[in-house]
Structure 1
Amino acid sequence: MAATKLNKAENIEDYFDAVSWWDNPVFNFAYADKAGNIAMTVCGRIPIRNGYSGMYPVVALNDSVGMVSNVPYAYLPREVNPSRGHVSSANQRSINPNEYGYPLVGPYVDGYRGRRINELLDADNSITTEDLMRFQADAIEIRARSIVPKVVSAWDNLGDGNESIEMIVGLFNDWDYEMATDLKAPTLWMYLYDAIRSETFEELDVLIPLLEESSMKSNALPSSSYPRAPILEQLILENESAYFDDTRTEGLIETRDHILVRSLHIAINTMHSLYGENTDSWEYGLHHTINVEHIAGLTTIKGGPIRGQHTLFPSHGWEMTTGPVLRHVIDLENPLNSRCVIPGGQSGNPFSVHFDDLFQLWYTFDTEEHHYLYQNFYTYSSSSEFVSVSEENRLIERRITLMPTN
C-alpha cells in the first residue's frame, strides 16, 4: 500500500499519507519536490517494550515481558523544511535519543559519514550535480582528523626524539586526512587506530577468546570486545578517562598522552615488521584494495587499489567487500542531467557481456574532477527506438541456456 501510494504521490501531503502506511521494518524516507519542499521521515515499526529495554536478549517468562505496541506514526522522527536547507541520512541515529520520548535501540552506524555529509552541505548553499558527485567520492577520515592531532601533540610533549619516528610523524603533519591510495599516512593511521584501541581498552582483552568461542557470537553478541570508534574518540578528546591507565603496569599511572605515544611506537613497529624499513611499501593503495565477488561465488570482478575507509565513500577494512551498491545523483530540475552507476554491470549473468560493463565507471577515480565516473540517463519513446540506437545489437540482453553435453 505504501509503495503504491508513493508512486502516485503528487505533493508533500500525498507523501506523508503514503509513508504512514509503511508497516515494515524501519526505513529512512527522503522527500523533495519541485515546490521546494524537503523532508526526512523515519517510518516503520519501532516497538514499545515492557519488562526489558531491547538492548539484550531476554527470556519472556510471561506475557508481561515483550513487545506490547509500536511508536505511533505521529511520533516517529521526522524533519520538514529545516532552516539549514537540507536533510541527510547515512544510517546514523536520526534523532538524539536523550531528546526523544521513546527508547531507540539497535546497531546504528558510528555516524562519521553523516557528520561529513552535513559538513559539506553546511559549507555551501549552491550545491551542483558535480559537487554531489565529488561528495560521493569524499575520502576524508573524520576519526583521524579528531585523533591524529592529539597523537602528534603527545609525541611533541613526550616523544624520545627518535629521528626515524620524527620523520614518520611528519607524514601526519603533511596529511589532510584524505584516505588516498598514493599516500602513506592512511596506512599508518590504520595501524595506529588499532594500537590506540587495544592499548586503551587492554582490560577487555580477556573477552576476546570468550567472544570467539561463544555459540551466540553471530546472533546476540557484538562482533568486537572493544567499544566503538565514537566512544574512543570522545575519551581522547575529553582526556579524563581512567581507561588510559594500563592495569598491567604496577606503580605507574599512564595518561592519555602516554598511551598515544606508546601506540605510535607499536604501529610503526608493526609496519616495519610487515612491510620492511622502506616506507615506499607503506602506500595505502598497495594494501587497501577491492575485488567484487559474484553473489553466488561464481566469479570475481578484479579491481585494485581503492580510496576511502570509514569515510563518506565507505570502504571498510583492508579489502573492500561492502560499499555503495548504487551511486545516484538526481537533478530534479533537469532529470536527464542525473547520473548513476553500480559496481558491476547491467546483468547478473556472469556469462553476459553486460555482467561487468559498468565496473570501470564505478571504480575509476577522475583525479582532475575529483570524483568517480557515472553513466548518463537516456529516454526512449518506444522499444523500437531503443533497439534502433543499439550498437551491434549489444544493448539487448540475450537469454543463455546451458545444455548438458550428453
Structure 2
Amino acid sequence: MNDVVGGPEEAWSFGWQPLAFRWTALEPGSIFRSVLLIDQARNWDEFREALRYWDVPSQNFVYADVDGNIGYQAPGRIPIRKAGDGTVPVPGWTGEYEWTGYIPYDELPRAFNPPEGFIATANHAVVGPDYPYLLSVDWDRGYRAQRIVDLLTAKDRLTLEDMQAIQADVHPLHAEALLPHLLALSPKEPRLQEALNILRTWDGQARWDSVGATILEATLVHLVEETFADELGPHLLTEYRKADTEVKQALGLLLAQPNAPWFDDIHTPERETRDEVLEQALSKAVDDLTKRLGKDMARWRWGRVHTALFRNQSLGSSGIAPIEALFNRGPVEAHGTSATVNNVGYSMNNPFTVRVLPSYRQVVDLADLTRSVSVHTTGQSGHPYHRHYDDFIDLWRNVQYHPMLWTRADVEAHAEATLRLLPRP
C-alpha cells in the first residue's frame, strides 16, 4: 500500500511506467456497523438508514416485511470523477481525473413499493441514461433480469412454488436471437442436419439432461471465434470472451444483419456472410462434441460437459490427489448457463466447466415464515467425513430446498445435536 496523491492506493510497475490503483475499499469503512444495524432494523426507514453505512462492496439489497412492503436500495461508496470512467489507466499527475467526492447516499438508486408490484434485480443496469452519476459500465446485459420480469408478469398471483420455479428457470434468452438463424440453414452434411433436427425439437431449456442445450452452447462458442477471431487476434479474443453476456448481446445484434462486416473473414478474398459463418460454427461444434462425447448425439447431454466442482478452499488445490479427493466434491452435472435465471455459467475460454453459480437460494413466505425454504451448495459441516459435509449437493443442483425452521420448538424438535460454547472457568 502506498499513500500517494489522492489517498491510499495500490501501486506497482508496468514496464517502465509506474501504475497506481485507487479503490474505495482501501479507505476506512463502516460496513460492520451497517451489518449490525441491518439486523436490528424494524421497518423500511431503519433498513435504509442501516445501509447508509454500507460502503464497500456495492450491492443490490432487496427488502420485504410482514406488512406487505417491498423495497430496493443500492448502497456503496461510489466516486464522482472529474473525467473518465475508471476502466483504463489515466495520467495521475495532472489532476484531470481525480475523484471529487462520492455519490450522496440519498441519490443512489432505490425503490419502495413500486407500481409494478415487484422488484427484479440480477446485476443489470438499474438506472437509465438520464441518471446524473456514473455508477458502472460493467452491468450484466439483462438476460436474467428480463426473464425474471417475464415470469413474474406471466401470472396475476404468485405462490412460494412459483418463486422456486423462477429460481430454477434455465431458459437462455440469448438462444432466441441465435436459434431462428441456425434453423434456417440448409447444410448438406448429414451430421449437421441431425444436429439441427435436435434443435428443432429442443424445448429451449438448458437442463443437465438436454442435448439441444449442448449443441446450441457449443455452436455459440465457435460462433464467437468464427466471427471475431480474425479481427481481434488471439489475445484480444481471449479478453473479449471474458465479457460473456456482452458478447452474447453483441452477437444477437449482429445476427440481425446478414452481411455485417464482422462476419467477413479478413484473411480470405471472398466476403463471408452470416449464414456461412453460422454453418461453419455449427460444423466445428459438431466435430468438437463428437471428439468429446462420441458419435451418438443422443448421449450429448448438457450435464456431461457442464459440470460443477466444489473445491475446498484450503486443501482442494493441494496438487496431492488423495487430499483433493478427500476434501473436494464433484464434478456433478449442472443445469443452466450464465444467461439463465439459474445462473450456472462457464467461461468461453474454458467451455463448459462451471465457474459461476448461485451459492445460496432462499424463498421466504412472509405470510407464514414456517413455509420458508433455502439451500446452499454443499452441506452444513466443514468436516469431510461428516454426513452433512456434502448432503446438499443434489438438492442444490436440482434446485430443491431444505425447510427453514423459525420457532424454537421446531428447532429443538429437529436438532440432531447441541454444541455448547461455555466461558472459560
TM-score bracket relative to the smaller structure: 0.7 to 0.9
Q: Is the Cα contact below 8 Å between 1:387 and 1:395 reproduced in 2?
A: no
Q: Does 1:333 align with 2:367?
A: yes
Q: What displacement does 1:48 show?
A: 0.8
* Contact 2:218-2:285 within 8 A present in 1 as well: yes
Is 1:183 matched with 2:210?
yes
Query: Does structure 2 retain, via aligned residues, the 8 Å contact 1:26–1:45?
Result: yes
Checking the alignment, whether the CA contact within 8 Å between 2:310 and 2:329 is kept in structure 1 is yes
Deviation, 1:160, is 4.0
User: Conserved in 1, the CA contact under 8 Å of 2:241 and 2:247?
Assistant: no
Aligned to 1:257: 275
Give TM-score scaled by structure 2 length: 0.79
Task: Name the SS of the counterpart of 1:201 in structure 2.
Answer: helix
| Inter-partner Cα distance in structure 2 for 1:178 and 1:379 | 35
Confirm or deny: 8 A CA contact 1:55 1:105 kept in the other structure. no
Higher mean displacement: 87-96 or 274-283? 274-283
Contact 1:116 1:142 in 2 (8 A): yes
**Structure 1 counterpart of 2:183, from 152, 158, 171:** 152
Aligned pairs for 1:301-340 (under 5 A) are: 301-302=329-330, 304-310=332-338, 311-317=340-346, 318-340=352-374
Paired letter, 2:376:
I
Which deviates further from its counterpart, 372-381 or 135-144? Answer: 372-381
Residue aligning to 1:279: 297
Q: Given residue 207 of structure 2, which amino acid in structure 1 is its aligned partner?
A: A
- Displacement after TM superposition at 1:332 (Å): 0.6
Which of 77, 94, 98 aligns to 2:109? It is: 77
1:15 pairs with 2:42:
no
Match of 2:345, SS state, is coil
Larger mean Cα displacement after TM superposition, 38-47 or 198-207? 198-207
Contact 1:84-1:122 within 8 A present in 2 as well:
no
Give, as a single letter, the amino acid of the residue that structure 1 aligns with 2:180.
P
Which of 228, 238, 241 pairs up with 2:247?
Answer: 228
- Per-residue Cα deviation, 1:185-221 (whole angstroms, up to 9, x for no partner): 111112100111111112344242x787xxxxxxxx7
**2:42 counterpart SS class:** coil
Unaligned runs of 5+ in 1: 213-220, 366-371, 400-406
| TM-aligned CA distance change 1:235 to 1:222, over 3 Å | closer
Distance in structure 1 (CA, Å) of the matches to 2:293 and 2:414: 52
Q: Is the 8 A contact 2:257 2:274 kept in 1?
A: no
Query: Paired residue for 2:313, among 295, 303, 320?
Result: 295
| Structure 1 residue 259: Cα displacement | 1.8
Specify the alignment match of 2:266 in structure 1: 247
Contact 2:376 2:396 in 1 (8 A): yes
Q: Is 2:182–2:196's contact at 8 Å kept on the other side of the alignment? A: no
Q: CA deviation at 1:164?
A: 3.4
Q: Offset at 1:388?
A: 6.4
RMSD (Å) for aligned C-alpha atoms = 2.7
CA contact (8 A) 1:211 1:225 kept: no
Task: Provide the residue aligned with 1:195 in structure 2.
Answer: 222
Listed as ranges, the gaps of 5+ residues in structure 2 are: 1-32, 317-326, 347-351
Instruction: Tell me the alpha carbon deviations over residues 310-344 of structure 1, each in whole angstroms, 9 at most, x when there is no partner.
Output: 21112222232431111100111101100011111
Q: Determine the C-alpha separation between the residues in 2 that align with 1:54 and 1:396.
A: 50
Shift in CA distance, 194/88, structure 1 to aligned 2, threshold 3 Å: same
**In 1: Cα distance, 2:414 partner to 2:281 partner:** 60
Query: How many residues are matched?
Result: 372
Q: Distance in 1 between matches of 2:281 and 2:85?
A: 37
Provide the rounded CA distance (Å) in 1 between the counterparts of 2:420 and 2:146.
45
Partner of 2:418: 396
- Measured in 2, the distance between the counterparts of 1:332 and 1:387 equals 22
Tell me which of the two structures has the higher relative contact order, counting C-alpha pairs closer than 8 angstroms and 6 or more residues apart. Answer: 1
Give the drift of 1:280: 3.0
Q: Distance in 1 between matches of 2:291 and 2:224?
A: 20
Check the 8 A contact 1:48/1:67 in 2, yes or no: yes
Corresponding position of 1:110? 141
Q: Where do 1:43-58 residues align within 5 Å?
A: 43-58=75-90
